[in-house]
């Protein structure tokens, strides 16, 4: 086939097929209001991984799992010595999550690979579809465990030892999931990657507001997460006097109020969230003996994030009163900017496909954060209806989902056909590197 007859892989992306797979995945862990509850390493997560492997087997993709539970499906390239190009996201969800957060990126990568196969192109480098373990961090905190361990940013053993609220460790839950994937071989942890591209819903209202289809993600805002433990003393609600009490709840509330006041900004850019607030023993006639609460703090300016995050511990300690308080920082991730090379590839692909697009900062976190230091990394956004997400009303049209997969197919085939992928690579003509059947 000569260069000008190269049929672009993106023309083989099938909107109905992608929508069908997303619907099938949405049935796994489906909630009554149309969302999903598919928390990390749950039986629903295992079922979703099984489904992905089965789809991969029917396409001849080679599955593998690494020691932290990241799942890979490989389209072999013609040059086995070349580092693979990775694309994917996560299958796990929030407890009342939406049908698109994460799983769209995994299935868009699957659809893009299926389209690349159908186009007859045979990429030089292998393409690995990946489902990262525990991106959301709702059952096991912090999130992004799989991508962080893959990238060497977190220690495998430390993460394996993390337990959920019932005391089940990642290690134990992972072993149970592995049981349902016994036919899937293990692979090296942190194998090389030539580049990583993640498609994801925007989880904000901007693209829809401006009538755009594609977001060329410029970077990810910084995020610091903490867990706070307040210890008081259980006492009788009727007999203990205020003077005697060590009321963990009142102390925790004072801390949260002080943090909210100190972190308040008139521009509404600071994102301060206490999403988890566990009171014990949580009995109406017992003065609370302890409170565990979470803090999720984000800002696009790393210096501001550093300064604001450094206030957390002193403020909690200053409002502990007669109670004890322990503040633990779980994750510290400064703002990052994706390389111009990947942003250029994504922007050019959207333009080639005549898709209205713009640069956009991600205010949500993604696994791409951990791939960014490892290899040239980029992200493609598609619109979220009204910006709704981390809720069951999350929605993106199948046309927009397919458009994102088309851009992804174009970018993946470009990356997989190059001699080398760098942060500052030049664009090479597609057919100069790819062999076509
Ligand atoms: O929290 C986040 O930003 C991601 O959606 N887990
Ligand atoms: Mn996500
Ligand atoms: Mn999410």
Give the architecture (CATH level 2) of 3-221+336-436: 3-Layer(aba) Sandwich (3.40)
Distance 94 CA to ligand 1 centre (A): 9
Residue 190: exposure state from Cβ atoms within 10 A (0-12, 13-18, ≥19):
middle
The pLDDT score that the predictor gives to residue 221 is 98
Q: What would the pLDDT profile of 296-336 be if each residue is shown by its tens digit?
A: 999 999 999 999 999 999 999 999 999 999 999 999 999 99
The pLDDT score that the predictor gives to residue 425 is 57
What's the DSSP call for residue 360? E
The pLDDT score that the predictor gives to residue 352 is 96
Residue 122: exposure state from Cβ atoms within 10 A (0-12, 13-18, ≥19):
middle
| Atom 6 of ligand 1, nearest CA residue | 136
Query: 271: Cβ–Cβ under 8 A, 6 or more apart, which residues?
Result: 296, 297, 298, 299, 363
Query: 88: Cβ–Cβ under 8 A, 6 or more apart, which residues?
Result: 105, 106, 109, 128, 129, 130, 131, 132, 198, 367
Q: Is the CB of 365 within 6 Å of ligand 1?
A: yes
Q: Which fold has domain 223-333?
A: Alpha-Beta Plaits (3.30.70)
The pLDDT score that the predictor gives to residue 191 is 85
Q: Is the CB of 92 within 6 Å of ligand 1?
A: no
Q: 291-308 b/e with 16+ CB inside 10 Å = b? A: bbbbbbbbbbeeeebeeb
Share of the chain above pLDDT 90, in %: 92
Known binding-site residues for Zn(2+) equal: 90, 101, 136, 200, 390
Q: Is the pLDDT of residue 184 over 70?
A: yes
Q: Is the pLDDT of residue 55 over 90?
A: yes
Known binding-site residues equal: 90, 101, 136, 200, 390
Q: What would the pLDDT profile of 56-92 be if each residue is shown by its tens digit?
A: 999 999 999 999 999 999 999 999 999 999 999 999 9
Q: Is the CB of 135 within 6 Å of ligand 1?
A: yes
What's the DSSP call for residue 6? P
Sequence ranges of the chain with CATH classification 3.40.630.10: 3-221+336-436
Q: Is the CB of 364 within 6 Å of ligand 1?
A: yes
The pLDDT score that the predictor gives to residue 418 is 76
Q: Is the pLDDT of residue 170 over 90?
A: yes
| Atom 1 of ligand 1, nearest CA residue | 365
Q: Is the pLDDT of residue 258 over 70?
A: yes
The pLDDT score that the predictor gives to residue 1 is 32
Distance 139 CA to ligand 3 centre (A): 13
pTM listed for this prediction = 0.92
Distance 102 CA to ligand 2 centre (A): 4
The pLDDT score that the predictor gives to residue 420 is 61
Q: What would the pLDDT profile of 1-51 be if each residue is shown by its tens digit?
A: 333 334 689 999 999 999 999 999 999 999 999 999 999 999 999 999 999
Sequence ranges of the chain with CATH classification 3.30.70.360: 223-333
Q: What would the pLDDT profile of 202-250 be if each residue is shown by its tens digit?
A: 999 999 999 999 999 999 999 999 999 999 999 999 999 999 999 999 9
Secondary structure class of 87 (helix, strand, coil): strand
Share of the chain above pLDDT 70, in %: 94
Q: What would the pLDDT profile of 343-372 be if each residue is shown by its tens digit?
A: 999 999 999 999 999 999 999 999 999 999
Mean pLDDT of the chain: 94
The pLDDT score that the predictor gives to residue 247 is 98
Length of the chain: 437
């Amino acid at each position: 086939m000569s260069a000008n007859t190269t049929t672009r892989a993106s023309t083989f992306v099938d909107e109905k097929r992608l929508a069908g797979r997303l619907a099938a995945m949405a049935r796994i862990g489906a909630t009554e209001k149309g969302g999903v509850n598919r928390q990390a390493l749950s039986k629903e997560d295992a079922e979703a991984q099984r489904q992905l492997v089965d789809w991969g087997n029917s396409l001849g993709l080679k599955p593998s799992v690494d020691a932290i539970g990241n799942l890979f499906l490989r389209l072999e390239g013609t040059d086995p010595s070349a580092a693979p190009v990775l694309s994917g996201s996560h299958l796990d969800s929030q407890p009342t999550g939406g049908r698109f957060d994460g799983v769209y990126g995994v299935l868009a990568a699957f659809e893009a690979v299926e389209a690349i196969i159908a186009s007859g192109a045979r990429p030089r480098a292998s393409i690995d579809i990946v489902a990262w373990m525990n991106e959301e961090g709702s059952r096991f905190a912090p999130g992004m465990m799989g991508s962080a361990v893959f990238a060497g940013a977190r220690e495998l053993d430390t993460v394996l030892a993390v337990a959920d609220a019932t005391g089940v460790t990642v290690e134990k839950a992972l072993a149970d999931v592995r049981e349902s994937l016994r036919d899937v071989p293990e692979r090296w942890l942190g194998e090389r990657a030539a580049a990583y591209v993640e498609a994801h819903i925007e989880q904000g209202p901007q693209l829809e507001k401006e009538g755009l289809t594609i977001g060329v993600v410029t970077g990810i805002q910084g995020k610091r997460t903490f867990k706070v433990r307040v210890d008081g003393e259980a006492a009788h609600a009727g007999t203990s006097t205020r003077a005697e009490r060590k009321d963990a709840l009142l102390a925790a509330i004072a801390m949260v109020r002080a943090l909210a006041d100190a972190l308040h900004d008139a521009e509404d850019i600071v994102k301060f969230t206490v999403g988890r607030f566990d009171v014990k023993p949580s009995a109406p006639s017992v003065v609370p003996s302890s409170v565990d609460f979470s803090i999720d703090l984000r800002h696009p300016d790393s210096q501001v994030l550093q300064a604001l995050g450094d206030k957390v511990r002193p403020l909690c300690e200053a409002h502990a009163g007669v109670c004890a308080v322990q503040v633990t920082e779980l994750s510290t991730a400064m703002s990052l900017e994706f390389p111009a090379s990947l942003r250029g590839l994504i922007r050019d692909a959207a333009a080639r496909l005549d898709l209205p697009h713009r640069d956009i900062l991600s205010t949500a976190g993604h696994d791409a954060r951990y791939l960014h230091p490892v290899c040239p990394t980029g992200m493609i956004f598609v619109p979220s209806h009204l910006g709704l997400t981390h809720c069951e009303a999350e929605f993106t049209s199948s046309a927009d989902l397919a458009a994102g997969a088309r851009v992804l197919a174009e970018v993946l085939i470009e990356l997989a056909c190059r001699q080398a992928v760098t942060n500052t690579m030049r664009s090479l003509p597609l057919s100069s590197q790819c062999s076509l059947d």
